[in-house]
Structures are given as structure tokens and as C-alpha cells.
Amino acid sequence: MTTTAPTTTPYRVTPARVLRSEWHKLWTLRTTWITLLAAAALVLAVGITMGSTYDGDDSDVDTVVFVLFGTQLSQICLAVLGILVTAGEYATGMIRASLTAVPRRLPVLWSKAAVFTAVAFALCLVTNVVTFLTAQIWLADTDKELALTDPGVLGALAGNAAGVTLLSLVALGLGALLRSVPGGIGAFVGAVLVVPEIVSTLPFTGVDAVVRHFPAQAATSLGSITRVQDTIAPGPALLTLALWALTVLAAASFLLRRRDV
């Protein structure tokens, strides 16, 4: 009598499984919780401060821009987290295990980007809404009193969240390109925040139009109810930011396929 060994179904790498893996990796890191909480706390704390100390001096500033001034600080937190999501694995050596489990490589990077984008946008949007409503406790009966249902308010809150998320996605791509946490942070601060300021001082025709399409400058027009002076319109700004993020991720994808781990 002969026996037949039971057959086993080989493990299949699917997009859903790669996404689930990246989701678990993101949330099992202590730095994720610390960074996200810090980013949300900064926006809320600054929003409360701005609302509770408002005395009418900044009446010309858009209300949403006024209460969400803290996003300039939270942006750094989320950019660092984006870099850690990619470059952090190279620092710990975990990337070898990830790419061994997913030999095609690219699903790893794009799953990281997808998970990070979903988490960052959800956090930013919820934080923006909570901060806006909280600040309105002090801004009631002032010239900055607004309701969440007033025209343009939700769009500005969501636009701000989209701008911060896409800028952080650029940081994630830089981390994947450079495979170094300090290098990624330096590249983000230098290329995204410093270079536009330097370029804007050049005495050439058309410099201002070019600078408006840099990532940080494009993001400025997304979080305001009214059109921000010297910026491109919100629709083109959103497209510009998305193209910047896709370009950096495409470059990172190209190098990921050609590099050794």
C-alpha cells in the first residue's frame, strides 16, 4: 500500500497581501505612533493658541490658514515619517527580508506609498476638522467666525490635508531614492524648502512663475478658502504636487529595480 503526501498550495504574493504586510509594519513601529501623535498635537496646540489669543490684528489672513498655521510644523513630522517608512528599512536591514518575500520589488515600494498616503491624509483631515472646530470656540463673534458648512471651508481643510500628504509622499520617495534617513531629511529640507527660496532671488524673467510650481509653493494654495496671492489655482496646484510625488516615486522605482539591495 502506498501513501501520497498531501499537496500544499504554494504561498502566493498578491497586492492585497503586500499591502497588509506594509500596514502591519507601519503600525508596529513605535516611531509611527510618536510621529503621528506629535504631528496632530502640534496642529491642535497651535490652532488653540491662535484662536484663544486672536485680537483682530490678523483680520486679513484667511481663517483656515490662520487656525491651521501649525501644519507648517506637522509637515516636518510627517515628512520624517515618510522617510523612515522607506529609508528606515535600509538602516535596519529589514529591506532584505521585504524584497526576498516580494522578489518583484516594486509592489513593496508602491504599497508603502499607498499605506502611508491613506494614513497621512486621514490623520491630517481629522486633525484639521477638530482644530478648526476647537478654534471656533474662541473665534465666535469675531470676524473669523465660520461654520464647517460655510462655502469653501471643507474644501480648504481637505486641500490642506492633501497638500501636507503629497509633500510627505515626496519625502517618502526621497528616502527610497537615497536609502538614508539623514540623507532623505537633508534632501527634503534642501530641495523642497530651501532651494525655492534661493531660486526666487534670481534676477531672471519667469522665475516667479517657475517657483510657484515648486512643491511647497504649490501646497500653499490648497489650504485656503480664498485664492492666495502669487500662487497657482488650487486645481493646477494639486496636479502639480501629484506630479512631483509621482516623479520622485518613479525615479525611486527605477533605481529599486536596478540596484542591489
Question: Domain residues for 160?
Answer: 15-258
- The verdict on residue 73 lying in a domain is yes
User: Would you say residue 210 lies in a domain?
Assistant: yes
- What are the residues whose beta carbons fall under 8 Å from the beta carbon of 248, sequence distance 6 or more? 169, 170, 173, 174, 177
Q: Does residue 147 lie in a domain region?
A: yes
**7 falls within a domain:** no
> 180 φ, ψ to 5°?
-145, 130
* Domain contains 6: no
- How many domains is the chain partitioned into structurally? 1
Query: What is the distance between the alpha carbons of residues 164 and 169, in angstroms, rounded to a whole number?
Result: 9
Cα 99 to the chain's mean position, in Å? Answer: 24
The letter for the amino acid at 223 is G
Residue 229 has what pLDDT?
A: 77
Within-domain flag for 76: yes
Q: What is the pLDDT along the chain (261 residues), one digit of tens a residue?
A: 455 555 554 568 888 889 999 999 999 989 999 999 999 999 999 999 999 998 878 778 899 999 999 999 999 999 999 999 999 998 888 888 888 888 888 999 999 999 999 999 999 999 999 999 999 999 988 888 999 999 999 999 999 999 999 999 999 999 999 999 999 999 999 989 899 889 888 888 888 888 889 999 899 889 888 887 778 888 999 999 999 999 999 999 999 888 766
136 grid coordinates: 471656533
At CA 232, angle to CA 226 and CA 237, rounded to 5?
95
Residue 167 lies in a domain: yes
Burial 201-215 (b: 16+ CB within 10 A, else e): eeeeeeeeeebbbbb
**pTM listed for this prediction:** 0.91
Grouping H, G, I as helix, E, B as strand and the rest as coil, residue 9 is: coil
Is 49 a domain residue?
yes
According to DSSP, residue 123 is labeled: H
pLDDT at 161: 96
